[in-house]
């Protein structure tokens, strides 16, 4: 039986529950830990032989999820574990008996996830968990994309910007970085598909990768005009409902037919609004306003983790319902 340390007893005896504690408590409650560990376990180093035995898989998984939720660097995550009892309790560390895993250990674990594309498996396992509970219905898909900025400075070792990122113009502003394209369930807003490209890729070119194939209806904003005429969509039994361009909406006639068309556009926009919720989670809650790594592969691996966590947090009101 684990004997509690004085720090743990003092922490449990305090009256105020912080926002960090509530957030970690929600993550703890809705995450299917066993299913996630099952995806990683075949690739995780085993004990035996000489040298220090590997740190427990569950602990490293929890440490990585805490890092992604709070937007921390490897060193920042190590420091946070020493600073925060809430994080230590979530990860399962008692400093009276052991040290926290260091930044190098966390880096090696993240590289293991990237090398074997395990974050895609984590994303798929969480979505399977949500589908079993009837939260991803597959009747319709909403597609959208968001730009994630990348550093445009050339003051680095190579003396140039990231060659896998690109610049694009949106309205009157130029952006440099990448795009995250997602397909989300029309009823719940949960993300079931993810693709990434440089920022200059047109949204419509990735639409085919965002459909799971079972939907009967797909919705997108005006950036997806003409998607149903593209060769990759020929023969698909899906009805596309794409928004009118702003100029086309303004040009609608001021009669009954025009008012009806405007009402249809408002209804389509209301459904499409669900796709903004996952973007809100990864950008405003998890803090991914700029990419954290160079190259698309590492950032894509991180995005699979973040969208998986966003799905859990969006679905928590159903998962935790009595």
- Assigned domain for 307 exists: no
Domain total for the chain? 2
* pLDDT tens digits, 254-289: 999 999 999 999 999 999 999 999 999 999 999 999
Domain that holds residue 203: 138-293
Q: Are residues 190 and 262 in the same domain?
A: yes
pLDDT of residue 8: 56
Phi-psi category of residue 209: left, alpha or beta, with phi > 0 → left and psi -120 to 50 → alpha? alpha
129 within some domain: no
CA distance 2 to 151: 47
**Does 318 fall in a domain?**
no
The reply to whether 156 and 285 lie within a common domain is yes
Indicate if 83 and 143 belong to the same structural domain: no
| DSSP code, position 162 | -
- How far is the C-alpha of 304 from the C-alpha of 306, rounded, in Å? 6
Residue 246, domain CATH: 3.30.420
Which two tokens mark 297? 């592969």
| Per-state percent for the chain, helix, strand, coil, to nearest 5 | 50, 15, 35
Look at residue 155 in the predicted model and tell me its pLDDT. 75
Are 11 and 104 in the same domain? Answer: yes
Q: 59: which 2 tokens?
A: 């602990």
β pairing state of 217-220 and 140-149: parallel
**CA nearest neighbour of 188 among 257, 110, 277:** 277
Reading the chain (322 residues) residue by residue, the pLDDT tens digits are 455 554 555 555 556 788 999 999 999 999 999 999 999 999 998 865 565 667 899 999 999 999 999 999 999 999 999 999 999 999 999 888 888 999 999 999 999 999 999 999 999 999 999 999 999 988 999 999 999 999 988 877 777 889 999 999 988 899 999 999 999 999 999 999 999 999 999 999 999 999 999 999 999 999 999 999 999 888 888 999 999 998 999 999 999 999 999 999 999 999 999 999 999 999 999 999 999 999 999 999 999 999 999 999 999 999 998 7
Shared-domain flag, residues 81 and 225: no
Residues 91 and 24 in one domain: yes
**Residue 276 domain-assigned?**
yes
Give the residue among 103, 87, 190, 89 at the shortest CA–CA distance from 138: 190
pLDDT reported for residue 14: 59
Q: Greatest CA separation found in the chain?
A: 81
pTM, two decimals, is: 0.91
In a domain, 46, yes or no: yes
For residues 248 and 261, the answer to whether their CB atoms sit within 8 Å is no
The Cα 196–Cα 178 span in angstroms is: 7
Considering the domain architecture, whether residues 153 and 285 belong to the same structural domain is answered as yes
Is the Cβ–Cβ distance between 210 and 223 less than 8 Å? no
183 and 233: one domain? yes
Cα first-last separation, the chain: 31
Q: 241 exposed, middle or buried (CB, 10 Å; 0-12, 13-18, 19+)?
A: middle
77 and 168 housed in the same domain: no
SS3 134: coil
Tell me the per-residue pLDDT of 146-171, one tens digit each, with 9 for 90 and over.
999 999 888 777 778 899 999 999 88
Residue 253 lies in a domain: yes
My answer on whether 288 and 143 are in the same domain is: yes
* 251 and 152 together in one domain: yes
Same domain, 101 and 212: no
Positive or negative: CA dihedral 187, 188, 189, 191? negative
* Residue 21, H or E segment: helix 19-30
């Amino acid at each position: 039986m684990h004997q509690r340390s004085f720090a743990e007893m003092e922490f449990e005896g305090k009256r105020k529950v912080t926002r960090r504690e509530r957030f970690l408590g929600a993550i703890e409650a809705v995450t299917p830990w066993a299913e996630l560990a099952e995806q990683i376990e075949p690739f995780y180093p085993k004990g035996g032989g000489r040298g220090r035995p590997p740190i427990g898989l569950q602990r490293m998984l929890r440490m990585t999820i805490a890092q992604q939720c709070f937007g921390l660097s490897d060193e920042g995550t190590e420091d946070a574990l020493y600073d925060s009892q809430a994080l230590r309790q979530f990860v399962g560390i008692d400093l009276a008996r052991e040290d926290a895993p260091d930044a190098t250990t966390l880096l090696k674990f993240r590289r293991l996830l990237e090398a074997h594309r395990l974050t895609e498996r984590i994303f798929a396992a969480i979505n399977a968990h949500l589908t079993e509970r009837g939260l991803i219905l597959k009747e319709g898909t909403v597609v959208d994309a968001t730009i994630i900025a990348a550093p445009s400075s050339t003051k680095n070792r190579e003396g140039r910007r990231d060659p896998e990122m690109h610049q694009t113009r949106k309205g009157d502003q130029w952006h440099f970085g990448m795009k995250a394209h997602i397909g989300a369930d029309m009823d719940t807003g949960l993300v079931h598909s993810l693709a990434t490209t440089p920022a200059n890729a047109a949204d419509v070119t990735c639409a085919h990768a965002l459909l799971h194939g079972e939907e009967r209806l797909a919705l997108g904003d005006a950036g997806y005009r003409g998607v149903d005429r593209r060769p990759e969509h020929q023969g698909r039994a899906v009805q596309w409902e794409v928004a009118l361009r702003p100029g086309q909406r303004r040009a609608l006639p001021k009669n009954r037919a025009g008012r009806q068309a405007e009402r249809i556009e408002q209804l389509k926009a209301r459904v499409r609004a669900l796709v903004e919720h996952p973007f809100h989670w990864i950008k405003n809650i998890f803090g991914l306003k700029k990419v954290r790594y160079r190259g698309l592969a590492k950032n894509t691996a991180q995005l699979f983790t973040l969208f998986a966590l966003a799905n859990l947090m969006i679905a928590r009101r159903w998962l935790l319902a009595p």
